[in-house]
């Protein structure tokens, strides 16, 4: 056992459209009776490659050789006939059925089954006979899954559902198993259990491919590791003969100089203080775990991490969009020496604040409103004569998402589905411009004059390719949609701008337009949070990088000093000692350099 | 493996979605479908009865709709009622809240109005009764519209089922009222006093002007008001609405409040202005007479555009009234007009399919001997999103 090849891939290439090459000339092999890890960053083509083996995609060119014979796998049924089974990240189970029924579902009756007319045999096979369930239970016991197959799927935990999926594939006779990020949904204990099962299956002679991007798991489970980067096969190495460091180097590759303009932050002051933020998602899993950090005005803080490690939830938590977020978010509103307005405060509140001594007159004198008439106060406020003494400190914990927005904390979240997070696809560019601002004023009618002006400005300044400003945004290409979205957020003169994956799917030129926009915001003393996936960009654009791993901060590092490998390592593993590079250090360095 | 070499057979028919449909093309197809539907109506009528000929059909179709001043007024009145009901449900649909309870909401309005008229007529000044019945109609309809909305907002229940069921409850409540007021009656409440129509003969103008005003108001509300803007954001992109801080629940309840107001107005107009009577029985015969359901179709066919709704409701009323006349003249029975409207809807709804999809047939050439297996079933059309 161990040397015959179960699968061999020769020169596999797969492209989507003309631009995106998901896999380029990949050569890879899987031996019988081994566990092979496929390691790579997001978008490195892991899942696409596996989907080609499982018959979901067909390769554009190249050969798939299964057990020494060339195979054409055009559909999952072909893969099934070759005894290849894939367990996807999203389970394909019928909730209302028992585990046994899910596993047996769709099985054909053998011709020699039972006696009598076909119809009665069919009834017996499908509805009466329990011997199939017994056979199933024996399979289950053989591997020590420890699961009761008579339970309904809706009663099961995620880990149990996954087990059912695995049993399903095994029962159908697969001896080559592909697991797509099986550990992403599991707790550490469940992962240990899964690994035990996988090892047992390997010892039975099954060949297993496991897709993952967690290094410690790779080291723990696999016999060999195959590293992909940007669609290309980098190397396949024996796990025992490699180190985590070496794997990270292969995964992230050489540093590329991007020539993004980056200036030292000018006197960064903390703008947003996040303390012990935790977020529990709908399924009850803790996706953000006691995260604490500061964001300063005038810096770009990058957030690195493999996608799904809590980036989205963290930003949503700050923006007040996560109902189950705990912890404190303190916002330092840069109000010092700025006039107070009636936009956020009413007369009563202003009086109370004055009594606390929070205002001063332009000449520096403290404001005392106790003996001044209301009318006079209104005049003073409207003439911008009452100025803040210090920055306003606001706890965002009990503010609504709308109030948080109106304070100038903008979240421009850009996942794959741009049109559903921040834009309305069927509306024109002009109408999309109004989304943030349409509430202003007391009129019951919307005013499209200023949004139209803004739309035209954005189209001109950011070179949005569109016939006119009344085109529904869903007709625009991805890059142009992105420009519209980011342009709008920036136009609202934010104080904190959180942009998640703003360049995903954009071409080089559009990406640089976005980087320049973020840089110009930084120069305007805005606190910019940039969630990105391309480490080269993060290292070139940001001032500091916060690395998330499993919802925890695994380090806050100096983007000017850190190497790609260090960030890569932090992304896959939380170190014992967590580095926290702060703005004070940054300032000292700035003085040194200056 | 033998099935690896299996040739993938192209299905006989497959559909592709048309991109960038030009307005001209869409209107050509719609007009074509309308003409075709009338021709098929004519053909079916000719086959049903020897009395009906091509000329007979069209003569009476148009006579029934526009034959006299009175008939034109009746047509416009029916059109207005239908249009008002369609306007009531339109903002809900724009929000992707599938309110098919327009029938029940209007019915509750009519019920509220009838309740007040039955119990206060003669006991207080006529104007008092009218104002009170108007207010009650609005309040009852609003309650009926808002209950499912609150359920939706609070527990995310399915509004389609709930609003549908509420229709039947409303009709049964009406039947109960009639039994209570006239236990031995014919199942219909007639009002001699206490209604607007008992004051004079201005009923036609009241109904038509109400429809005109509401159409304009709804057009402006949808297109230029902040509420209208919020409704389309919530409907088109609920996640975006969440991101920009729109309180979706509030928008849902508020919109249904508005819907209830208009439905209540229709209920009042039906009882107090048009019929001066109230009908509701457990066989689902009612004052609203299924218009609430027709209104759903009218709103859809017009793509939720208030001005286009004038056209769609005109077509429906035209066919209904024209076909009723044809049916009466040829003694084809009561259900004849309903049949014709059904044929009309069949064609018009099919139109939307042809506008959005293109049908490709498999080219006939290169038939290999082993490929004469039965053809695969036609591909099912993808569920179309309303736009």
Higher confidence at residue A190 or residue B326?
Answer: B326
Task: Give the residue, A477 or A513, on which the prediction is more confident.
Answer: A513
CA distance A405 to chain B (A): 8
Whether the full predicted model's pTM is greater than 0.80, yes or no, is no
Please, which pLDDT band fits residue A382 given cuts at 50, 70 and 90? confident
* Domain harbouring A94, CATH code: 3.40.50.300
In a domain, residue A352? The reply is yes
B36 or B198, which is more confident? B36
Query: Is the residue at A264 inside a domain?
Result: no
Measure the CA–CA gap between A403 and A409, rounded to whole angstroms: 9
Q: CB pairs under 8 A, 24+ apart, for A570-575?
A: A570/A304, A571/A304, A571/A305, A571/A306, A571/A309, A571/A547, A572/A213, A572/A214, A572/A215, A572/A216, A572/A244, A572/A248, A572/A306, A573/A214, A573/A215, A573/A216, A573/A244, A573/A549, A574/A549, A574/A550
Q: Are residues A578 and A502 in the same domain?
A: yes
Of chain A, the percentage scoring pLDDT greater than 90 comes to 7
pLDDT at res. A489: 81
Across the interface, of A422, A438, A445, the residue whose CB is closest to B240 is: A422
Please tell me whether residues A149 and A79 are part of one structural domain: yes
- Residue-range definition of the domain harbouring residue A384: 335-390
**A362 and A480 assigned to the same domain:** no
Which residues of chain A neighbour B1 with C-beta distances below 8 Å?
A: 71, 78, 81-82
Query: Smallest CA–CA separation between B21 and chain A, in Å?
Result: 13
Q: Do A339 and A290 share a domain, yes or no?
A: no
Count of the separate structural domains present in chain A? 4
Q: For A145-195, what is each residue's pLDDT tens digit?
A: 778 888 888 888 878 888 888 888 888 888 899 998 888 767 777 888 889
Residue B224, chain A, CB below 8 Å: the answer is yes
Which one, of B240, B382, B308, lies nearest residue B90 by Cα? B308
User: How far is Cα B228 from Cα B92, in angstroms, rounded to an integer?
Assistant: 11
Is the pLDDT at B1 greater than 60? The verdict is no
Per-residue pLDDT of B187-205, as tens digits, reads 788 888 888 888 877 788 9
Contacts of B356 (CB under 8 A, 6+ apart): B17, B18, B21, B384
DSSP for A358-387, please give it.
Answer: -EE-TTSPBP--TTS-HHHHHHHHHTT--E
Give CA–CA dist A251/A232, Å, rounded: 11
Torsion angles phi and psi, residue A111, rounded to 5: -65, -30
Question: What was the pLDDT predicted at A359?
Answer: 79
Alpha-carbon span A201 to B337, nearest angstrom: 70
The answer to whether B243 contacts chain A (CB < 8 Å) is: yes
Q: In this complex, which of A400, A424, A445 lies closest to B226 when CB atoms are compared?
A: A445
Does residue B236 sit at the A interface (CB-CB below 8 Å)? yes
For residues B323 and B340, is the Cβ–Cβ distance under 8 A?
yes
Structure tokens at B80: 């207005």
Distance in angstroms (rounded) separating the CA atoms of residues B198 and B358: 56
Name the residue among B229, B236, B245 with its Cβ closest to that of A400: B245
pLDDT of B36 strictly over 90: yes
Instruction: Answer yes or no: do A74 and B387 touch at CB < 8 A.
Output: no
To the nearest whole angstrom, how far is the Cα of A131 from the nearest Cα of chain B? 30
Residue A547 domain-assigned (yes or no): yes
Contact of A71 with chain B, judged by CB distance below 8 Å, is answered with: yes
For residue A336, the 8-state DSSP code is B
Same domain? For A438 and A587 the reply is no
- For residue B375, what pLDDT band results from cuts at 50, 70 and 90? very low
Each residue's pLDDT tens digit, B230-270: 999 999 888 888 878 888 999 999 999 999 999 999 999 99
- Quick check: B240 and A411 CB within 8 A? no
Domain ranges of chain B: 69-331
Q: Is residue A583 part of a domain?
A: yes
Cα four-point dihedral sign B100, B106, B107, B108: positive
Q: How far is B29 from chain A (nearest CA, A)?
A: 23
Q: Are residues A326 and A355 in the same domain?
A: no
CATH architecture of the domain with range B69-331: Orthogonal Bundle (1.10)
Looking at the structure, do residues A593 and A487 belong to the same domain, yes or no?
Answer: no
| CB B279, CB B188: distance < 8 Å | yes
Q: Is B23 near chain A, with CB under 8 Å?
A: no
| Same structural domain, A369 and A350 | yes
One domain for residues A214 and A309: no
Taking alpha carbons only, the member of A233, A185, A304 closest to residue A38 is A233
Within this chain, do residues A160 and A145 fall inside the same structural domain, yes or no?
yes
Interface check for B245 against chain A (CB to CB < 8 A): the answer is yes
Report d(CA A398, CA B69) in Å as an integer: 65
Instruction: Read off the pLDDT band of A3 (50, 70, 90).
Output: low
User: Which residue among A413, A425, A438 places its CB closest to the CB of B236?
Assistant: A425
Q: Does B3 touch chain A (CB under 8 A)?
A: yes
Q: Which residues contact A67 (CB under 8 A, 6 or more apart)?
A: A4, A5, A6, A7
A-B C-beta contacts closer than 8 Å: 71
Which range has the worst mean pLDDT, A383-392, A418-427, A488-497, B358-367? B358-367
Residue that wins the pLDDT comparison between A520 and A324: A520
Check whether B30 has a pLDDT greater than 80.
yes
User: Are A339 and A198 found together in one domain?
Assistant: no
**CB-CB neighbors (< 8 A) of B244 in chain A:** 405, 422, 435-436
Q: Do the Cβ atoms of B93 and B286 come closer than 8 Å?
A: no
Residues 6+ apart with CB under 8 A from B276: B190, B191, B192, B195, B197, B198
Distance from the Cα of A420 to chain B's closest Cα (Å) equals 6
**Extended beta strands in A17-92, E state:** 20-31, 35-39, 61-66, 69-71, 84-87
Kindly report the average pLDDT of chain A as a whole number. Answer: 81
Same domain (yes/no): A536, A466: no
Confirm whether A128 is domain-assigned: yes
Q: Measure the CA dihedral A135/A137/A140/A141, to 10°.
A: -110
CA distance B240 to chain A (A): 5
């Amino acid at each position: 056992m161990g040397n015959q090849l179960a699968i061999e891939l020769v020169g596999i290439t797969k492209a989507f459209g003309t631009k995106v090459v998901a896999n380029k000339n990949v050569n890879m092999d899987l031996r019988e009776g081994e566990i092979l890890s496929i390691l790579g960053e997001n978008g490195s083509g892991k899942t696409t490659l596996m989907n080609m083996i499982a018959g979901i995609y067909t390769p554009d060119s190249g050969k798939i050789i299964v057990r020494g014979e060339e195979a054409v796998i055009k559909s999952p049924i072909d893969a099934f006939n070759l005894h290849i089974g894939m367990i996807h990240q999203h389970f394909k189970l019928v909730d209302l059925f028992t585990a046994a029924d899910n596993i047996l579902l769709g099985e054909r009756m053998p011709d020699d089954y039972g006696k009598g007319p076909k119809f009665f045999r069919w009834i017996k096979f499908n509805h009466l006979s329990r011997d199939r369930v017994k056979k199933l239970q024996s399979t289950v016991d053989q591997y020590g899954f420890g699961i009761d197959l008579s339970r309904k799927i809706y009663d099961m935990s995620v880990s149990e559902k996954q087990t059912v999926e695995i049993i399903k594939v095994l029962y159908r006779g697969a001896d080559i198993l592909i697991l797509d990020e099986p550990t992403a949904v599991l707790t550490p204990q469940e992962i240990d259990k899964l690994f035990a099962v996988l090892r047992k299956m390997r010892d039975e002679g099954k060949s297993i491919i496991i897709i993952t991007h967690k290094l410690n798991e790779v080291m723990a489970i696999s016999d060999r590791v195959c590293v992909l980067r940007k669609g290309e096969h980098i190397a396949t190495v024996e796990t025992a003969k490699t180190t985590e460091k070496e794997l990270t180097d292969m995964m992230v590759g050489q540093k590329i100089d991007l020539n993004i303009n980056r200036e030292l932050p000018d006197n960064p002051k903390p703008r947003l203080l996040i303390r012990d933020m935790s977020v529990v998602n709908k399924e009850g899993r803790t996706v953000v775990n006691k995260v604490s950090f500061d964001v300063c005005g005038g810096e770009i803080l990058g957030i690195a991490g493999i996608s799904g490690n809590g980036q989205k939830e963290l930003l949503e938590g700050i923006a007040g969009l996560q109902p189950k977020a705990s912890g404190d978010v303190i916002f330092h509103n840069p109000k010092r020496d700025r006039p107070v307005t009636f936009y956020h405060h009413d007369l009563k509140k202003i009086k109370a604040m004055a009594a606390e001594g929070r205002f001063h007159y332009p000449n520096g004198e403290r404001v005392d409103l106790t003996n001044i008439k209301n009318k006079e106060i209104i005049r003073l406020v409207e003439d911008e004569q009452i100025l803040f003494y210090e920055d306003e400190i606001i706890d965002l914990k009990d503010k609504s998402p709308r109030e948080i927005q109106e304070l100038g904390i903008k979240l421009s979240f850009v996942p794959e589905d741009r049109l559903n997070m921040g834009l309305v696809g069927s509306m024109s560019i002009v109408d999309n411009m109004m989304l943030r601002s349409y509430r202003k004023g007391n009129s019951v009618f919307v005013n499209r004059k200023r949004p139209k002006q803004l739309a035209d400005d954005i189209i001109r300044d950011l070179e949005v390719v569109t016939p006119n400003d009344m085109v529904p945004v869903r007709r625009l290409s991805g890059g142009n949609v992105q420009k519209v979205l980011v342009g709008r957020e920036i136009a609202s003169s934010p104080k904190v701008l959180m942009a998640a994956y703003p360049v995903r799917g954009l071409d080089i030129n559009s990406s640089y337009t976005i980087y320049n926009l973020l840089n110009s915001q930084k120069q305007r003393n805005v606190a910019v949070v940039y969630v990105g996936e391309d480490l080269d960009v993060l290292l070139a654009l940001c001032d500091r990088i916060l690395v998330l791993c499993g919802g925890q901060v695994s380090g806050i590092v100096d983007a000017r000093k850190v190497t790609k490998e260090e960030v890569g390592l932090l992304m896959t593993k939380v170190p014992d000692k967590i580095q926290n590079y702060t703005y004070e250090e940054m300032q000292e360095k700035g003085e040194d350099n200056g | 493996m033998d099935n690896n070499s299996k040739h993938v057979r192209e299905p006989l028919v497959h559909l592709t979605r048309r991109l960038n449909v030009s307005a001209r093309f869409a209107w050509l197809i719609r007009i074509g479908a309308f003409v075709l539907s009338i021709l098929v109506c004519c053909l079916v009528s000719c086959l049903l009865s020897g009395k009906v000929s091509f000329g007979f059909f069209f003569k009476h179709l148009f006579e029934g709709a526009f034959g006299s001043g009175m008939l034109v007024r009746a047509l416009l009145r029916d059109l207005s009622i239908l249009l008002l009901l369609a306007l009531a449900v339109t903002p809900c649909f724009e929000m992707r809240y599938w309110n098919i309870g327009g029938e029940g909401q209007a019915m509750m309005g009519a019920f509220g109005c009838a309740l007040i008229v039955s119990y206060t007529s003669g006991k207080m000044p006529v104007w008092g009764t009218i104002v009170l019945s108007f207010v009650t109609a609005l309040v009852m309809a609003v309650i009926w519209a808002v209950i499912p909305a609150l359920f939706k907002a609070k527990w995310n229940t399915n509004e389609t089922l709930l609003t549908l069921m509420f229709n039947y409850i409303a009709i049964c409540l009406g039947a109960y009222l009639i039994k209570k007021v006239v236990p031995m009656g014919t199942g219909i409440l007639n009002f001699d006093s206490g209604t607007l129509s008992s004051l004079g003969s201005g009923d036609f103008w009241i109904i038509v002007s109400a429809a005109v005003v509401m159409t304009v108001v709804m057009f402006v509300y949808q297109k230029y008001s902040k509420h209208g803007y919020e409704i389309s954001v919530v409907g088109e992109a609920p996640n975006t609405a969440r991101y920009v801080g729109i309180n979706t629940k509030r928008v849902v309840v508020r919109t249904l409040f508005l819907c209830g107001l208009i439905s209540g107005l229709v209920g009042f107009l039906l009882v107090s202005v048009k019929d001066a009577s109230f009908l509701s029985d457990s066989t689902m015969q009612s004052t609203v007479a299924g218009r609430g359901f027709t209104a759903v179709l009218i709103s859809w066919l017009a793509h939720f555009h208030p001005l286009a709704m004038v056209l769609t409701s005109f077509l429906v009323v035209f066919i209904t009234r024209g076909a009723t006349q044809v049916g009466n003249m040829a003694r084809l029975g009561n259900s004849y007009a309903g049949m014709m409207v059904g044929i009309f809807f069949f064609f018009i709804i099919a139109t939307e399919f042809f506008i959005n999809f293109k049908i490709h047939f498999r080219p006939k050439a290169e038939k290999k001997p082993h490929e004469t297996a039965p053809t695969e079933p036609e591909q099912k059309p993808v569920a179309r999103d309303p736009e």
